[in-house]
Structure 1
Amino acid sequence: MVRLDQGGSFQRGLSVLVAVAEAGEARAEEIVRDTELPLSTVYRYLRTLRTMEFVEERDGSYVPGWRLLELSGQQLTRTRLVELGHSFLRELSESTGETAVLTVRVGTQAMCLRQVESRHPIRMAFKIGQLLPLYAGAGQRMLLAHAPETVVERILDHPLRHFTTATMDREHILHDLQQIRRSGFLVSHGELSEGAVAVAAPVFADGEIACSITVAGPKDRCSRSWVKHARGTLLMSCQQLAEVFEQHPSGQS
């Protein structure tokens, strides 16, 4: 029988695990602030949690490991998104003529989980598994708009890298996040890659954002009429994917 007293080792270990799970990505110093535990104690529990694969270390930060993701259902969610999302991405790419991308939030970053590239020789595309900044680019900022407030604060409290002259600063991002939540879609112009135009929309499951889907291409092909067509097609596809996902959350047919 485990005793959960205030100073209990079990409770301290759980508090470290909860701090990582709630933040999505946290440095040891941030966990110290959240748990009020000594830094040496935090590192000791992190070593244990890493050994048990409940957390992973990435460039000095700690993120949920595969065991924690599996317990929380996130691993299953991502697997289902890969399985269900491909046909929607293919249809979007064919309809718009451009690359369709499905991204998910991983801590304080976004990750390209799946994509169908445009058939044009010159096109916009990421690598599967590529990590992207949450604050720059349509699909990424859509995820940020629906992320927990602690994630938004953690990102915007640090200096933001300007990838292009169109990359937004902190004040513009904060204002834009409110607009994104109201409108339900986002259009970006060259924020992450020069000359790119992207339209993004969210996919919700059980009241929370599961992923964002983006269609993107070079500005020479992506006119205002293209943006209008892409937005309508994208919003319809995201709604359909959300309905299918909620109908078959565990791969049931």
Structure 2
Amino acid sequence: MNNKKIESKRDTESDQTRGTSSSSLERLISVLDVIEESPTGLTFDQMLEVLQLTRSTLYRYVKILSEAGLITSLPDLGYTLGPRVAELDYKMRAQDPLISAARPVMAELSRSVGGVALLCRRYRDKVLCVHQEGSSATFRSAYERGRDLPLFRGAASRIILAQLHMRVVSRLYHKRPQEFAASGLGNTLAEVKASLAQIRHAGWCAIEGEITAGVTGIAAAVFDNQNLVVGSLSITIGKVAMKEEDIGRIAEHVKFCASIVSNAIAAHK
């Protein structure tokens, strides 16, 4: 066998190994996914039925995740997310450069405008609240840290959606056209694209009562050093039917605060 054939064989074997490794890791993560999505603990047999893995494979994955502290179990209650998740959450709040850059800006925003400031990140095909500043005596924000929402519900989500490549928007639309229509973005892909173009041109999004009743959310996008959207900064105000000039004034302030965070992220080393 000549050297080219040997190299070709090695490349093929390497690709197969990588493929097997990737597939195994995906199945391992699927155990975490199914536990995360369950409102209660899951027994081993329940996971076995949902995941359709062999008993020995699932046992191995459960052992790895349990030893890492990512899942835990109690007698008769099944498996739930483990203490390591809480530890990771704490370290994320301390180490995430996005949160570090946004925290003082959000504190100023919530004080000057009056309301609850939220920092959100895009996560898969949804948006996740990663930090909150401020409080209100008149309402409690339903968008708490760790809560996820679809990309097309709420100002904090929709401003992110408006910044995504239209190829991504098209994929999402073809998967969930009814949800796009229900959100008021449009009944066709063309209408959705036009709605998002208006939001993108304005640079901000304001929505009343879509996540929390009786409040108005005003959001602007946060970008990385390649000008790609990474999340949103928003303020939730405990009133509705606000005057357009008041919304516009606050929106410009939110845009300014979001630009400060974007610049800080771009300069972070």
TM-score range, shorter chain: 0.5 to 0.7
| Structure 1 counterpart of 2:203 | 184
- Which amino acid in 1 is paired with 2:220? A
Task: Give the alignment's Cα RMSD to 1 decimal.
Answer: 3.7
Q: 211-220 vs 152-161, which deviates more?
A: 152-161
* Pairwise CA distance, 1:127: 1.5
Q: Deviation digits for residues 75-110 of structure 1, max 9, x if unmatched? A: 89x811111211111111111111111111001000
| 2:222–2:261 CA contact under 8 A, matched in 1 | yes
3-state DSSP of counterpart to 1:188: strand
For structure 1, the residue ranges without an aligned partner over 5 or more in a row are 15-41, 58-74
Q: Deviation digits for residues 125-177 of structure 1, max 9, x if unmatched? A: 41211111101111101111222444323321123566997654443433211
| Structure 2 counterpart of 1:139 | 156
Q: TM-score with structure 1 length normalisation?
A: 0.65
Alpha-carbon distance between aligned partners in 2 of 1:45 and 1:180, rounded to the nearest angstrom: 38
| Structure 2 counterpart of 1:238 | 258
Kindly tell me: are residues 228 and 197 of structure 1, through their superposed partners in 2, closer, same or farther at Cα, counting changes over 3 Å?
A: same
| 1:100–1:213 CA contact under 8 A, matched in 2 | yes
- Which of residues 179, 199, 202 is equivalent to 2:221? 202
Kindly tell me: are residues 159 and 246 of structure 1, through their superposed partners in 2, closer, same or farther at Cα, counting changes over 3 Å?
A: closer
Alpha-carbon distance between aligned partners in 2 of 1:52 and 1:166, rounded to the nearest angstrom: 31
Alpha-carbon distance between aligned partners in 1 of 2:7 and 2:208, rounded to the nearest angstrom: 56
For structure 2, the residue ranges without an aligned partner over 5 or more in a row are 1-5, 35-91
Q: More helix by proportion, 1 or 2? A: 2
Q: Count matched residues.
A: 202
| 1:189–1:195 CA contact under 8 A, matched in 2 | yes
Correspondence 1:47 to 2:24: yes
Q: Report the identity percentage.
A: 21
State the structure with more CA Rg: 2
Alpha-carbon distance between aligned partners in 1 of 2:197 and 2:120, rounded to the nearest angstrom: 20
| Structure 2 counterpart of 1:31 | none
* Pairwise CA distance, 1:240: 1.4
| 1:162–1:168 CA contact under 8 A, matched in 2 | no
Q: TM-score with structure 2 length normalisation?
A: 0.61
3-state DSSP of counterpart to 2:96: helix
